[in-house]
Structure 1
Amino acid sequence: MPAAAALRPTEPLPLPSGLSLTPRLKLILTFFRADLTIRPLDEWQLKSALLTFLRDPPLSLPLLPDSDLSVRRLPNLQKRRREEPVASGALHVRDLSLLRPRKGDSEAEEMTPEQEEEKYFEWRSSLVEKLEGIELNLEGVKFRMTIEIPPSEDFRTMKKSWEDFYSSELLNSRNPVRKIARRPDTIIVRGVPSRWFAETRVSSKPSTLVTHTIFSALGKIRTLNIANDDELEAKEDGANKELISGLNCKVWVQFESYDDFHDAMKALCGRSLEKDRG
Structure 2
Amino acid sequence: MSFRPLKSLPPTETLEIGSGLSLVPRVKLLLTIYRSDPSVKPIDEWQLKRALIDFLKNSLSVSLTVPEEDLDIRRFKDLKKRKREDPVASGTLYVRDLGFLSKTSKNKQNLTYEDDEEENVEVLEKKFFDWKRSLVDRLDGIELNLEGVKFRLNVSIPPCDDFEGLKKAWEDFYAFNNRGSYSRGGRQQPDTIILRGVPSRWFAEPRVSSKPSMLVTHTIFSVFGRIRHLNVAEDNDLGKNSDEESEDLVSGLQCKIVVQFEKYEDFHNTLKVFCGRSIQKQGSRLKADYEATWVKDGFFRNAQQRVINSQIQEKNGRLQAMPAGHYESVAPKPQPQIARFSSESARLKRFKE
Report the TM-score when normalising by structure 1: 0.89
Candidates 107, 113, 122, aligned match of 2:121: 113
1:190-228 CA-partner distances (Å, limit 9, x unpaired)? 121111011222222222121111112222211211111
Contact 1:77/1:86, CA 8 A, preserved across alignment: yes
Count of paired positions: 273
Candidates 125, 129, 137, aligned match of 1:129: 137
Quick one: distance in 1 between partners of 2:222 and 2:24?
17
Instruction: List gaps (5 residues or longer) in structure 1.
Output: none
Q: CA shift at 1:128, angstroms?
A: 1.0
Correspondence for 1:164: 172
Correspondence for 1:152: 160
Highest RCO, 1 vs 2 (Cα 8 Å, sep ≥ 6): 1
Quick one: distance in 2 between partners of 1:26 and 1:2?
25
- Greater mean deviation of Cα atoms: 48-57 or 129-138: 48-57
Instruction: State the 4+ residue runs in structure 1 displaced beyond 6 angstroms.
Output: 236-239
Correspondence for 1:182: 188
2:209 is paired with a residue of what secondary structure?
Answer: coil
Q: CA shift at 1:170, angstroms?
A: 7.6
The code of the aligned residue for 1:246 comes to G
Instruction: List gaps (5 residues or longer) in structure 2.
Output: 110-115, 285-353
Contact 1:3/1:217, CA 8 A, preserved across alignment: no
Larger radius of gyration: 2
Quick one: distance in 2 between partners of 1:237 and 1:19?
34
1:81 is paired with a residue of what secondary structure?
Answer: coil
Identity between Structure 1 and Structure 2 (%): 53
Quick one: distance in 2 between partners of 1:214 and 1:98?
30
Distance verdict in 2 for CA 1:213–1:5, change over 3 Å = farther
Distance verdict in 2 for CA 1:58–1:247, change over 3 Å = closer
Contact 1:131/1:147, CA 8 A, preserved across alignment: yes
Candidates 2, 5, 8, aligned match of 1:6: 8
Distance verdict in 2 for CA 1:10–1:45, change over 3 Å = same
Correspondence for 2:26: 24
Q: CA shift at 1:230, angstroms?
A: 2.4
1:60-119 CA-partner distances (Å, limit 9, x unpaired)? 5453111000111111111111111111101000000011136xx664895431221111
Quick one: distance in 2 between partners of 1:196 and 1:149?
27
Distance verdict in 2 for CA 1:97–1:191, change over 3 Å = same
Candidates 39, 50, 74, aligned match of 1:37: 39
Quick one: distance in 1 between partners of 2:203 and 2:42?
44
1:157-200 CA-partner distances (Å, limit 9, x unpaired)? 110011001111187569x9x72221110111112111101122
Report the TM-score when normalising by structure 2: 0.71
Candidates 268, 272, 276, aligned match of 1:270: 276
Report the RMSD for the aligned CA atoms in angstroms.
2.7
- Greater mean deviation of Cα atoms: 161-170 or 26-35: 161-170
Distance verdict in 2 for CA 1:227–1:101, change over 3 Å = same
